[in-house]
Amino acid sequence: MKRLKTPIFILLAAMVGLNIFQVWQFENGIIHSQRMTKEYYWSIIGETDFYHADKTLLEPDRSVNYLPEEKPQKHKLIYRETYSGEGSKVKTINGFSVPEEGSLVLSKTNRESEKLKFAFKDISDTSYSYVITRIRFKSDFEAKENRFGLEFNMIDAKSGKSYRKVYKGVESINWFDKGSWSTLDLIVIPPFMRNENDSIEINAVLKGKYPVQIDNFSVEVIDPSTLPEQEALTFYNDYYTLKMGNWSRSRSMVGKKGYELVDSTHQCSSTLSMPIEDIGDHRSIEIDLNINLKHNYVGASKMVSVSNEYDTYFYESFPLIRTGEKWETKRFIFNLPENLPTEGATLKAYVCNKSKGPVYIRDMRVVVGNE
């Protein structure tokens, strides 16, 4: 019995000493009250300097509403909508009558946009991600007089109820401009999932009583995924709320809502430039253009090239054929050749128009994937 007492006393003393030391670590900020992980715990055994502790091993702060300076590498666009078919009106732009591309209108009888629902496991393979929702909006009333904003909910798959709700309204931003188009974004790190099939729900909500126009609705996911390279790379430009990829500055934006004008004076649109090294083995290209060709009967084309300062390895021109007066989506799908260089060249995609008839572009999406 005496032989057992000594080891037990030593063990108890060590445990008490460890407890006292860890209380000291907690009081000095080395042990975190909410964001501890196994990796971080073992890294601070015996640590007495707050600044030497490796904070990158901590669980991310899920209460943040901003992106970190060093963004995680995996970036996905999981939803985009510009409401082109929503009640267009005819506007005069630079002497040409053009159907104004529509907007979603929130009002007393339509207080919420459609709820976007995504199973979290389908959009991220990590325990956390940054979910960024963006809209462009226009209200003729002050923010406090007509409140509206974006709402995020984490939905329990078993009960169907929300166990985290985040709301961001126009009253919380300082760049709101009554009567003009402005932007609003909501950044959320979802909580730990209770169930494997839990989902996120996102929508725009009107809490006031006056109409609000909503446009450029997009949802992105940024996460530190450990999966292999993405099957497809998405590049997108709506000119105002979201640019994914390296796009040159547009030369001419026209109309109150803002469309890119491509005509004989401004012959080329904003150009996507991507180093060939970033493409890797991807060879399939899909391009979507939200465009109006009402006054353009011939002369406009979608151009794609792979070249460098000295050589052109690929060049393709796709005619933009007018089919009516309304806004429409033009889609082009094709494959790049296999014998492209692996470095030292650039893929470029843009619209070119050498005729006097104007072309108006609302947004452009380029997806580079596997065949």
Rounded mean pLDDT of the chain?
A: 86
pLDDT in tens, 296-355: 988 899 999 999 989 999 999 999 999 888 898 999 999 999 889 989 999 999 999 988
pLDDT of residue 17: 73
Per-residue CA distances from 329 to 84, 246, 292, 322, 363 (Å): 9, 22, 9, 11, 10
**Domain spans of the chain?**
2-57, 62-227, 228-371
Q: What is the pLDDT of residue 102?
A: 82
Q: What value does the mean pLDDT take over residues 289-301?
A: 91
In tens, the pLDDT along 10-25 reads 778 778 877 887 788 7
Identify the pLDDT of residue 37: 67
**Can you give the pLDDT at residue 289?**
94
Tell me the β-bridge partners of 206.
148
Predicted local confidence at residue 6, as pLDDT: 74
Query: For the sheet containing 148-155, what is the strand order?
Result: 116-119, 199-206, 148-155, 162-169
Instruction: Give the per-residue pLDDT at 69.
Output: 67
| CATH architecture type of domain 228-371 | Sandwich (2.60)
Beta strands 116-119; 199-206: pairing state: antiparallel
Indicate if 228-371 has the same CATH topology as 62-227.
yes
CA-closest candidate to residue 204, choices 215, 190, 192, 195: 215
Q: What whole-number distance in Å separates Cα of residue 266 and Cα of residue 281?
A: 34
Say if residues 135 and 240 touch (Cβ distance below 8 Å).
no
Q: Could you tell me which CATH class the domain 62-227 is placed in?
A: mainly beta
Span 106-135, mean pLDDT? 90
Q: What is the pLDDT of residues 207-264, one digit of tens each?
A: 999 999 999 999 999 876 555 556 788 999 999 889 999 999 998 998 878 899 999 8
